[in-house]
Structure 1
Amino acid sequence: MSVAFRREGDDEHLEPKFEHPIPVGPNLVTARGLQLIKDRVAELQSKVAGLTDDEVALKIAKRDLRYWNTRQSTAEQPPVPSGTTVEFGTRVTFLLNGKEKTLSLVGDDEADPASALVSFSAPISRALMGLEPGDYGDFSGKEDAIEILSVEAVPPT
């Protein structure tokens, strides 16, 4: 019989499960972000301990736990920002092409754009970094597309 028609098992037809990619660069976290990571690790440890029958679910949970353990062990909490310039851990209100927006600059794992929490590595964050109220910045190929209205340090929680 030809090897092309031989079937080893159902596992060879499953989607491959890859490790979660780790974002490039430092793993900066806010106090809130670090607590979210710790909570996720604890949740996944409990899940792994409780899984015995479902081999696929156990593999997925262990993969997720490896990711979150790595994120926890590499987490760096920078000093609380002064709130005078846009930096990691600040909330900034600015005009972008004439429209007012407010964003908080947080770590990669804490980012939630729908809640105005943007990763410090996002293009808009990089464009805002280092600016102070009254400053103008370039964004998306446009000069002075950003005007900083206010900056405040986000209190640790």
Structure 2
Amino acid sequence: MSRAFVKEGDGALDPLPDLPISPYPNHVTPTGLAALHSRLRDTQARLAALKARPDRLDKLPEAAAERDIRYLEARLRSAILIDPATFPLTEVAFGLIVTVLDDEGREQRFQITGEDEADPPQGRISPQSPLARILIGASVGDVVTWVKPSGRTELEVITIAHP
């Protein structure tokens, strides 16, 4: 094969494509903002450790760390801090914790958090989730209908609390 069409490189990688950034406003709770700062510090430390390796033949981990740093810095620049402690407990809002009772008598707790902080198994849901969209604005005693792939579920709001 002719070497005319082979790219000779210097051993460096092209930057990895950036991680997708959500088109929604980047609302964050104080806890979520602190977590973003912590993730950035940890990723910067990981990158420094990767660059300090004596054998740096595999540059992919460095490129991944640099990409993650670009993502975290972008999320921090666009962060809109919302402190739920300032909200009255009259209706479900961003950052507040809501306890609901489903139509089978089970209680569940959810906190509506920023996208980067969301963790559904831990009860933290993003404002764009179907569940959060039906809960936002509901008051204690309200019954909302959550349409899931498995069917419709009626949820009664039984408490609203600060984190």
TM-score, normalising length: structure 2: 0.78
1:87 to 83, 89, 93: 93
Partner of 1:136: 143
Residue 65 of structure 2, aligned match among 61, 64, 77: 61
Please tell me the residue identity of whatever aligns with 1:61. A
Q: Which residue of 2 aligns with 1:45?
A: 44
What is the aligned partner in structure 1 of residue 112 from structure 2?
105
Q: RMSD of the TM alignment (CA)?
A: 2.5
Check conservation: 1:137, 1:143, Cα contact below 8 A.
no
Counterpart AA for 1:150: T
User: For residue 102 of structure 2, what is the aligned residue in structure 1?
Assistant: 96
The answer to whether the 8 A contact 1:136-1:144 is kept is no
User: For each residue in 1:94-152, what CA deviation from the matched residue of structure 2 results, as whole angstroms up to 9, or x when unmatched?
Assistant: 12333321111111111111211111221101110000001122221888822111101
Query: Percent identity among equivalent residues?
Result: 31
> 1:145: which partner in 2?
154
Contact kept? 1:133, 1:148, Cα under 8 Å: yes
| Paired residues of 2:44 and 2:69 also in contact (CA < 8 A) | yes
Would you identify which runs of 4 or more consecutive aligned residues in structure 1 move more than 3 Å?
6-9, 141-144
The 3-state SS of whatever aligns with 2:75 is: helix
SS in 1 for 2:157: strand
Residues in 2 aligned to 1:126 and 1:96: alpha-carbon distance in whole angstroms: 17
Ranges in structure 2 where 5+ consecutive residues have no aligned partner: 9-14
Amino acid at match of 2:160: V
Instruction: Give, as a single letter, the amino acid of the residue that structure 1 aligns with 2:132.
Output: S
Give the secondary-structure state (helix, strand or coil) at the position aligned to 1:51: helix
Deviation at 1:17, TM superposition (A): 4.6
Q: What is the DSSP-based 3-state SS (H/G/I as helix, E as strand, rest coil) of the residue aligned with 2:161?
A: strand
SS state at 1:38 partner: helix
Q: Give structure 1 stretches of 5+ with no counterpart.
A: 10-15
Aligned residues: 146
Q: CA deviation at 1:60?
A: 0.4
Which of 107, 125, 128 is matched with 2:132 structurally? 125
Distance 1:97 1:8 in 2: 63
Contact 2:47 2:62 in 1 (8 A): yes
Partner of 1:12: none
Supply the distance in 2 between the matched residues of 1:134 and 1:63 (Cα, whole angstroms): 46
Supply the distance in 2 between the matched residues of 1:111 and 1:27 (Cα, whole angstroms).
Answer: 12
1:74 aligned partner: 78
Please tell me the residue identity of whatever aligns with 2:73.
Answer: N
- Whole-Å Cα distance in 2 between the matches of residues 119 and 144 of structure 1? 19
